[in-house]
Amino acid sequence: MTVADSSQAHTLYATHHRWLYELLRRRLSNAFDAADLAHDTFLRVLKRPQAFNGEVHERSYLATIARGLCIDHWRRRQLEQAWLQALGLQPPALQPSPEQRAIIVETLHEVDAMLQRLPQRVSDAFVLAQLHGMPYRDIASTLGVSERMVKKYLAQALMHCAILEAELDGLLIE
């Protein structure tokens, strides 16, 4: 980022931060989450500076980024709630430690993000095979494809899992 970009980002922040924060606070009904997402929005702007055609374009750009961050935020919350509900059904002796819980939740977020990047049928085939233990024949019937396509879908999903694992291990550089 150049000095000019830094100055433009500072001006954008000074001009629109309060507006964006209020927009997010109304949308999320939570001041702390709104502050976090407003901050994340401006971090994204810093990573990808833009040239704007006036204040309306600036706000539109900020709102678009913030909307995507809200969707990610809600998805994470849903995933965490589902995990906590499943965890609540376990006897206390089988409950993971707080550290293990944090690791499991973060892993769930990473897997969810990976599944979101996959084509829908590939993601569906992976979930049916891995979570529901369905055989290829049943997956093929459910998805309305051949068993051969199911094998291709699962190979594609497993490739993405391997890439995710390598990224998490720090082996891949973007």
Instruction: Give pTM, 2 decimals.
Output: 0.61
Q: Which residue has the tokens 């233990």?
A: 133
The amino acid that residue 121 corresponds to is R
Q: What is the pLDDT of residue 78?
A: 87
Q: What is the pLDDT of residue 5?
A: 60
**What does the buried/exposed string (b/e) look like for 141-162 if buried means 16 or more CB atoms within 10 Å of the residue's CB?**
eebeeeeebbeebbebbeebee
User: pLDDT tens digits for 7-16?
Assistant: 777 888 898 9
Q: What is the pLDDT of residue 153?
A: 94
- Which residues make up the CATH 1.10.10.10 domain(s) of the chain? 96-174
Fold for domain 1-92?
A: Rna Polymerase Sigma Factor; Chain: A (1.10.1740)
Q: What's the mean pLDDT in 78-83?
A: 83
Around 41, how many Cα atoms within 13 Å sit in the side-chain half-sphere?
31
CA distance 123 to 115: 6
- Which residues make up the CATH 1.10.1740 domain(s) of the chain? 1-92
90: how many CB neighbours lie within 10 A of its CB? 10
User: pLDDT tens digits for 108-162?
Assistant: 888 888 888 889 999 999 989 988 899 999 999 999 999 999 999 999 998 888 8
pLDDT band at residue 45, thresholds of 50, 70 and 90?
Answer: confident
Length of the chain as a residue count? 174
Q: What percent of the chain has pLDDT over 90?
A: 39
36: how many CB neighbours lie within 10 A of its CB? 15
Task: Give burial (CB, 10 Å; 0-12/13-18/19+) of 83.
Answer: middle
Q: What is the pLDDT of residue 132?
A: 87
CATH code linked to domain 96-174: 1.10.10.10
- Residue 112's contacts (CB-CB under 8 Å, 6 or more residues apart) are 75, 76, 79
Q: What's the mean pLDDT in 81-105?
A: 83
- Residue-averaged pLDDT of the chain: 85
Three-class SS state of 90: coil
Q: What is the pLDDT of residue 39?
A: 94
